[in-house]
Structure 1
Amino acid sequence: MDWFMIWQASLETLSMTAWSLLLTVIIGLPLGVLLFLTSAQQILAHKGFYQALSLVVNILRSVPFLILLIVMIPLTRVLMGTALGVQGTIPPLVVSAAPFFGRLVENVLRELDPGVGEACRAMGANPRQTVMWALLPEAMSGIAAAIVVTAITLVGYSAMSGVIGGGGLGDLAMRYGYQRFQTDITVATVVVLVILVQVMQLAGDFLVARLSRK
């Protein structure tokens, strides 16, 4: 078994997950906040806008990742210059995960005590101040938990990208484990993925526990 090859594939999976997670948070966090603020009985409540945005989020969440991966190939080539490897996998990962993360953020904010926002409004805070000074700090542990869930989801999605040559452990398992019948490669990639997810979950649980105590 070529352990160097497995090591390289593991680094590619980590790279795909890290970059796509960063972009997912950058896009998904404001999306989730906007969904929350424009929903009924909130600061910027707007039924039409919320329903339209919610529909887009639901549509993107309902498309299976493999189908999205294939459909986005032309756009991915324009954005990244290639639809293969680590670079070619990041755009569909972000498009798939950002709506998912945004919905998680919305749900976290909904679980906060309504008195937090009301107190800010009573003191004359505008929507931006309410979000930055009250809502996000109060929801930090929940958002951290949502990031962990999203990161683990991205690891699974990145493995699926191997079907079309997306690189990483999934690509390794497809090319060597499946097409060349090297079962040991398949088993090794599964073990590495399980270990990776467990490490991410443990680190995430530790972080959420620290934030909850604060």
Structure 2
Amino acid sequence: MCLKNGNPAGLRLDSVRIRLDGRELLAVDRHVAPGETLTVMGPSGSGKSTLLAYVGGFLDPVFSGEGRVICGGRDIAHLPAEERHAGILFQDPLLFPHMSVGGNLVFAIPQAIAGRKARRARAEAALADVGLEGFFDRDPDTLSGGQKARVALARVLLSEPNFLLLDEPFSKLDMQLRDQTRSLVFDSARRSRLPVILVTHDEADAKAAGGEVIEIG
């Protein structure tokens, strides 16, 4: 998580602006406290996902962005994506099909956790945390949509991110699974004290997140 002097500091978007061909798509100036969610709502093409790309460090060069992204007391806006340590969930879980469920999780565990047994134990504990105990050796293709979403969440949390970026990760789930997955994601973020930015067009997502909502577009 974003730490300052050893304490959770949250994530600050300081005068962040996204432009396309000189036209301003959005402007955001907000602080997201540890465990809280900032929701950005708007229609397709309004710049929601582009905001996440700027914060995460993978902005398409067709767009221009400016403003500070402050994590742990330092501006990370000019760092490469791999140094920002953002945890990202997209509409699709994006699991590696050539790896087992456990392999997907072990891949995300920081190298500081050494040893095959220790890394497997960490992955198995993460699966248990999302209600998938015993799924380590499963093929991702055999999982339901809800199970894949849970594995994707476990993988993100295992990577020990500084903050979470959620790009409409519930939109392809049916209504029941959507409610369950929302609760799991936001409860996990609160327990882990991670600041979260959610972009969505669904008011139910914003309500489940329970934080401040910015409407754009």
* TM-score bracket for this pair, using the shorter chain length: under 0.3
Structure (1 or 2) with the larger CA radius of gyration: 1
Structure with bigger RCO (C-alpha 8 Å, 6+ apart):
2
Q: Higher helix fraction: Structure 1 or Structure 2? A: 1
Calculate the TM-score normalised by the size of structure 2.
Answer: 0.24
